[in-house]
Structure 1
Amino acid sequence: MTGSFKAHVCRLDLWINPVFDETLARNPDVVVEVASSDPSCAATEKTLADAHVYHVCAAKDDLPKRWWVNSDLIEASPNLLCVSAGGAGYDTVDVEACTKAGIPVVNQAGANAHSVAEHTFALLLAVIKRVVESDRMLRTASGFKREDLMGDEIHGCTIGLVGIGEIGTRTARIAAGFGLKVLAYDPYVAEEDVRARGAEPVSLETLLKHSDFVSLHCPLTAQTRHMIGAEQFAVMKPGSVFISTARGGIHDEIALYKALSSGRLRGAGLDVWEVEPPPHEAPLLSLANVVATFHTAGVSHGGRRNVARSSAEQILMMLEGVRPPHLLNPEVWERFMKRREQILGHASKLESV
């Protein structure tokens, strides 16, 4: 760039690892503007109207709907060239609306994959080993025996992964270390690739019937919403364990409560909820065989740092006209390049960081 023209990146005043701003600050032709997340703030609307890039929080319950990326926000932001979702998920972004407007969207797939895969086993082991039950009883009760809290081994069991992308693949690798057989259902991955990622490809029904542990690792879409409901829980192996570090809404919480309270399922480890955080009176939270966390699987120091760095690097790539690795709507790239030239002009040749 010429040094006089600046590419404006807008993010809201929600917490983000400092490496995001630090990475973008290394390029003198990029300006980061931090706007208020207050849904009534007119200044934020003005900042977005002038922005070339919008880095948006991917957590639906952390971001006011006023600032979700939808057709209304896009219409009010004529200079918007590209959108960066701050996570592997992108619940707050209408990708179809962005595609229609010629706006590429990136997520940060894989950036926090190690954290989420590790958390999957933290939940699984907590359920199987009855860690939380033991902790509570030691703090509140007396006169019980160790055998009253007897857990089990996972070695030699079967884990079924619904989705085998970046996180599912890492989960499969960890599972192998625990001596688990790994099944996977993913209609978007070829069977030979599923095997290369460490799992045996099967149908969803087969996975549910034969897995001791079922773990979700797929995005929330129109196709996956409530894909695990009463019918699927009824198919699951009696005494099996359900785990989700994916997204709330993929499983039906009422159906899961019934499957657990009836004794059909042994337990559940849940990091994601329809409403986050779930209310204290949520039925699932009343069950001793449920271990619950607050969508923190990817919210580790390392995971957040990796996501922030990935976000900044992909933003710089798009501003430089370089196709990023985690583009959700690749069909829009040619239109984006034309819009980029029109909006940024010849000054848009950013210097390498």
Structure 2
Amino acid sequence: MSTATNELTTPGTSVRAPFTVAVTADAAKPDGSSIHGDLGLRRLTEQGVQWHVLPSYTDPIPPADLTGVHAVLSLGHIAFDARTLDHAPDLRLIARFGAGFETIDLESCTRAGVVVTNTPDAIRRPLAVAGLTLLLALAHKLLAKDRLTRTSDWAARERYRGAPIVGQTVGIVGFGSVGAELARLLAPLGMKVVGNNRSGRHPEAAGLGVELLGLDELLERSDYVVLCAALTPETENLIGADALARMKPSAHLINIGRGKLVDTDALRRALQTGLIAGAGLDVFEPEPLLPDDALLTLDNVVLSPHSLCWTKDFTRDVSAAALGSILATAAGKRPLNVLNPEVFDSAAFAAKQGRNHDS
């Protein structure tokens, strides 16, 4: 959901007390550098917002580490539940660096008066490009051909002919903003796109020529199935043995959503027995894969360590969106991309705003 920027304070007022941000240590070092690159934390400093990286990667965050913290920049998937929030009386905002929020209990956040935001617009194009990258790599059997070249086994190349692109059907499961962006990227390649989502509707579907189908029909018709769905109790293990059996033997499964969308044991069997032609995976369950996982040995699987969309523009845009949420909250404004907009009507939120202005 997206909430327009609105003043929460009386016009002309500002936050009097220092505003403190904790950055999670799962992807950042004490100096603020991160595995994603430059997060642009100097923007916070320039606006008088104090920040620090948490002393350790602990999930959930210890209560002592949230004392006096007004916002958390969550770079990964640390859990925030009622127990954690009960020990964070000053917390007003959890800003997710990315789109996924399955480890955040939104209802508990709302009761605690904590706003939760994510960055769906910033991640849309990089994630769609990641899906396209895996699709093309699978279609052209790029992994196997790379290996043949490195081992000078050119004689074996005739066994690895590419699959068609033009006229093939791509089924996007969880057809939302990322799926729509992927459909735009696929259109010039002459591929047909069908989609599936929980509501059976999407405002851009018709304009993009995307037919929305039930999941079973999508699986049966698609040559490439791309998973973009959010992880919820309803979508966990959405693609299991029955779903894989519905796919064409020539079809490929691509997962750029969450590892738990797929029953990994069932997928492993499907790939080993030829039930489906191949898979492109940027996400897994568990992460990282265990060293003896059979997926690591298969020629018909292209793997990426949950980072295929990590590009310079990804970091720039996602950081800008997440920091924008923090700066808006520090200034007493409503940030964009609020996941629990009902929080603004809660007594707990009003109380925190009141404490802010009394400081």
Using the size of structure 2 for normalisation, the TM-score is: 0.87
Q: In the alignment, is residue 342 of structure 1 matched against residue 354 of structure 2? A: yes
Report the residue type matching 1:37 in the other structure: S
Contact 2:38-2:315 at 8 Å conserved across structures? no
Measured against aligned partners, the alpha-carbon deviations of 1:119-178 in whole angstroms (never above 9, x if no partner) come to: 111111111101110111222253615422211221110000011222111111011121
Report the residue type matching 2:251 in the other structure: S
Cα 1:40–1:95 change in 2 (3 A) is: closer
Q: In the alignment, is residue 107 of structure 1 matched against residue 126 of structure 2? A: no
Which residue among 35, 43, 46 is the counterpart of 1:26? 46
Structure with more contact order per residue of length (Cα contacts < 8 Å, sep ≥ 6): 2
Q: In the alignment, is residue 50 of structure 1 matched against residue 50 of structure 2? A: no
Note the C-alpha offset of 1:285.
Answer: 1.9
Note the C-alpha offset of 1:322.
Answer: 3.0
1-structure distance, mates of 2:198, 2:333: 29
2-structure distance, mates of 1:212, 1:2: 55
2:149 is paired with a residue whose SS is helix
Matches within 5 A, 1:1-353: 5-13=17-25, 14=28, 15=34, 17-28=37-48, 30-39=49-58, 45-58=63-76, 60=77, 68-142=79-153, 144-188=155-199, 190=201, 192-335=203-346, 337-345=349-357
2-structure distance, mates of 1:281, 1:300: 29
2:315 is paired with a residue whose SS is helix
Measured against aligned partners, the alpha-carbon deviations of 1:14-36 in whole angstroms (never above 9, x if no partner) come to: 225434412222312x2112221
Note the C-alpha offset of 1:189.
Answer: 5.7
Cα 1:189–1:301 change in 2 (3 A) is: farther
Contact 1:173-1:198 at 8 Å conserved across structures? no
Report the residue type matching 2:67 in the other structure: A
Measured against aligned partners, the alpha-carbon deviations of 1:203-261 in whole angstroms (never above 9, x if no partner) come to: 11111111110001111111110011111111112210100111110011111111111
Contact 2:220-2:248 at 8 Å conserved across structures? yes
Report the residue type matching 2:71 in the other structure: V
2-structure distance, mates of 1:217, 1:120: 9
- Number of residues paired by the alignment? 338
- The residue aligned with 2:9 is none
Report the RMSD for the aligned CA atoms in angstroms.
2.3
Contact 2:280-2:301 at 8 Å conserved across structures? yes
Using the size of structure 1 for normalisation, the TM-score is: 0.88
Contact 2:106-2:116 at 8 Å conserved across structures? yes
Contact 2:130-2:308 at 8 Å conserved across structures? yes
Report the residue type matching 2:181 in the other structure: R
Note the C-alpha offset of 1:303.
Answer: 0.7
- The residue aligned with 2:31 is none
1-structure distance, mates of 2:69, 2:226: 39
Contact 1:257-1:284 at 8 Å conserved across structures? yes
Report the residue type matching 1:57 in the other structure: L
2-structure distance, mates of 1:208, 1:345: 55
Structure 1 alignment gaps of length 5 or more:
348-353
Structure 2 alignment gaps of length 5 or more:
1-12, 29-33
1-structure distance, mates of 2:287, 2:237: 17
